[in-house]
Chain A
Amino acid sequence: MSNAPTAIEVENVDFYYGNSKALHDISLKIPKGLVTAFIGPSGCGKSTLLRCFNRMNDLIDGTSVKSGKIKIHGVDIYSKEVDVIELRKRVGMVFQKSNPFPKSIYENIVYGLRLQGINDKKMLDEVVEKSLRGAALWDEVKDRLDDYATGLSGGQMQRLCIARAIAVEPEIILMDEPCSALDPIATMKVEELIDELKKKYTIVIVTHNMQQAGRCSDFTAFYYLGKLIEFDRTEKIFTNPSKQQTEDYITGRFG
């Protein structure tokens, strides 16, 4: 299907919230260095699968991957030897609702570094500038790095969260509907940013916006009721899907 090497390999994963099964036998290979979009109707399990990749679901009591494997760069991330902290440093996440900490812009960006015990001012300054430039936010906030992050606009906050995620230099960035709370212009900026970021990172993005999936992604996975229906190159999914369900969903005939 693609000759790009695989970043995340999902093999026959079943996922449970307590006793209710949210993911049914999912298998797919997310290629490295490209953008993969997850689409599907509400409640179909996109976020659940995404949150498996950095083991965010561990925070919820009673969840489990009952069978199957998720490998990132060949390592089974649910095996006992895996250090979750390290995993989360390598697999960053941007959430649907922007969630900067109630701290200054500067402190938000350096949070991940401070966690690792890095407190060297010069180094932190560099990272702040690099990350904010990387998130296309530098010019807008460079004069007020000490201001409270919660005073930014919605779009700026979301890009700040992206900057915060890339500050710890992940290899994979997971984005769960990053633009759903943004206006069209802010959305456009984030999409441009994604185009820029994919040169350096593997990106998985969940979205409800078909145009966005079409514009930004190289691959698209379509889910329905906890099952993966179709996974293919984005052009193929949008022009010539092989499943009827996919076509119905994309053309909006189904809700």
Chain B
Amino acid sequence: MPETLEIKRLDQRPMTESLLSKNKVKFLGLGSDEIIKYFFSGSAWTAIIVLALITFSLFREGAGFFPQHHDSLKLYRLAGLEFVDYFRDQMTAQASLSRYLNELKLNKTLKLQAAGKGEAEIESLLAPLEQLRLDFDQAGLEGQALLDEMTSMAAGIKDRYTISEENRISRKQLIDAGMKEEADLLEIEDIDFAKEAENLKTTFLPKQKEVSATMAAKMKSLLAATKVENTIYEAEVNRFKATVSKYITGFDSVQMKMQDWTHDKPVPFYESITKFITGTKWVTQSFWQDWYGIVPLFIGSLTVSIVALIVAVPLGVGAAIYINQVASIQEQNFVKPFIEFVAVIPSVVLGFFGIAVLGEGIRVFTQWDMMAWVPGFPIAERLNIITAGLLLALMAVPSIFTFSEDALNNVPKAYKEASFSLGANRLQTISRIMVPASLSGIISAILLGFGRVIGETMVVLLVAGNRLEIPDFSAGLMVIFQPVHTMTGLVAQEIPEVVKGSLQYRALFVLAIALFLISLLINYVAQIFVRKYKISVG
């Protein structure tokens, strides 16, 4: 029989007394429980309020974009810039055709040099090509001159309008401030857009017609005169000839458009939104017309992120599986902190490494003779999608690894034991039980990595190459060697030079909102997966 224990209580008071005692510590009339409660709820609310303020100010600054964008699009039409741009497109196409010839010549020269030909021989071999190039350029000169004339006229209209609008505002401010005399000095001109448009059309339509006709004639005779049978560039030049013929037949439709153009055709408001979402040009601080199209930036961000994920997902998830299921404790203790350490490398350091080592390394690699068989190698750009993608992958691996490892850890050990007890080997247990059971957790880990990557700024700003163009996907996989610009990188780049309240300023806010929404969406989807995963395991 166990002996009875004498329990010596610290608090010797009888129970009734101790239950009713109210000697708790008070501070400003609050008990300790209350203080703790207020402290933590205070922190939570501060966070929520700050977030709400950020969101609010983003939207407040961004919301002004669309009306302002609408005004800009209206002015583009009113002042006749649109009219001029029809012809500009025609001339731009000519310039790129000419650039094609130039590149063709360069390529062939390199080939011939590689084949050991002398300089004189190369020159004579390529003489017809060079002649074609010169003549083709020549054919465009007149058009180019006309375009310049048109441009300065339309730009003049726009400038006069902008200046008098600014003056109108300043004058009002001056009058409000009681400075009547100074206000009177500011000239205000009421521009008659109808008259200006009429003027544009009557001056330039006939000229444009005439110039186009001579251009077409010159090109046609040029094509007929160029004989390239049995040369090493026969195929390319024939393709060029076909393209030019098609180009010439397009002149008529350009003329049609210019004829039909009116300055007062209304610009619907929705265009200010659709042009932002579907626009393929992002041009700012231009003397001519600013364009705010998100597509090249969005595609840039997306391609870089996809490349990053293609690299980071197998690495991160693979490492998580290895560490969680296969590695010994010593390996775990070494690898885990190491991978987590990668996460704290400042991104500017990574960017620097990306430029100096990775980008250069990739370029040198593509220059190796043994890599020459790969079409598109050697590459021209050191800063491109793949360099940025690889660096971002490096940044995404730790979060993908950590969250995937957590997900695997959360799979009950009983599943694993049951699997082994039924005669499964390690690979079978991993692929049939562990990964499926933690799949939603792994997917949310990947999504969080995606969020990390798409929101990253410094690395892409430094190494994505910042070219504001949609990469040329016709290059196939080689597209990853082209430079792009990204949403984050662009915001970071343009913020310092932007005028507060300007259209560009607001455009950057809208970009920021878009980024915010994308991140929100990714996180939301990740949450859904996490929730599902909790249920399936619990």
- Contact indicator A112/B423 (Cβ below 8 Å): yes
Residues of B within 8 A of A164 (CB): 418, 422
Residues of A within 8 A of B421 (CB): 54, 56, 88, 92-93, 95, 165
Q: Give Cα A32 to B6, complex, Å.
A: 53
Q: Give Cα A99 to B423, complex, Å.
A: 16
Q: Give Cα A54 to B437, complex, Å.
A: 25
- Contact indicator A97/B420 (Cβ below 8 Å): no
Residues of B within 8 A of A168 (CB): 422-423
Interface centre among A54, A93, A99, A168 (most CB of B within 10 A): A99
B191 part of interface (Cβ distance < 8 Å): no
Residues of B within 8 A of A88 (CB): 420-423
Q: Give Cα A92 to B421, complex, Å.
A: 6
B269 part of interface (Cβ distance < 8 Å): no
Residues of A within 8 A of B414 (CB): 95, 97, 99
Q: Give Cα A164 to B428, complex, Å.
A: 17
* Chain A 92-133 interface residues, beta-carbon cutoff 8 Å to B: 92-93, 95, 97, 99-102, 111-112, 114-116
B328 part of interface (Cβ distance < 8 Å): yes
Interface size class of B (residues with CB under 8 A): 20 to 34
- Contact indicator A59/B424 (Cβ below 8 Å): no
B419 part of interface (Cβ distance < 8 Å): yes
Residues of A within 8 A of B433 (CB): 101
CB A66 to nearest CB in B, in angstroms, measures 20
- Contact indicator B418/A115 (Cβ below 8 Å): no
A81 part of interface (Cβ distance < 8 Å): no
- Contact indicator B428/A99 (Cβ below 8 Å): no
- Contact indicator B536/A102 (Cβ below 8 Å): yes
- Contact indicator B422/A56 (Cβ below 8 Å): no
CB A65 to nearest CB in B, in angstroms, measures 18
Residues of B within 8 A of A111 (CB): 419, 422, 424, 432
A61 closest partner in B (C-beta):
B329
CB A22 to nearest CB in B, in angstroms, measures 18
Residues of B within 8 A of A114 (CB): 432
B415 part of interface (Cβ distance < 8 Å): yes
- Contact indicator A115/B328 (Cβ below 8 Å): no
A85 part of interface (Cβ distance < 8 Å): yes
A46 part of interface (Cβ distance < 8 Å): no
Q: Give Cα A89 to B328, complex, Å.
A: 26
CB B188 to nearest CB in A, in angstroms, measures 75
> Are A115 and B536 also in contact (CB < 8 A) when A61-B328, A101-B415, A161-B418 are?
no
- Contact indicator A59/B420 (Cβ below 8 Å): yes
A183 part of interface (Cβ distance < 8 Å): no
Produce 1/0 per residue, B293-337, CB < 8 A to A.
000000000000000000000000000000000001100000000
Residues of B within 8 A of A165 (CB): 421-422
A86 part of interface (Cβ distance < 8 Å): yes
* 10 A-B contacts (beta carbon < 8 Å): A61-B329, A85-B425, A88-B423, A95-B418, A99-B414, A99-B418, A102-B415, A102-B437, A111-B424, A115-B428
A59-B417, A88-B420, A115-B422 known; 6 new pairs, CB 8 Å cut-off, are: A88-B421, A95-B418, A112-B424, A115-B428, A161-B418, A168-B423
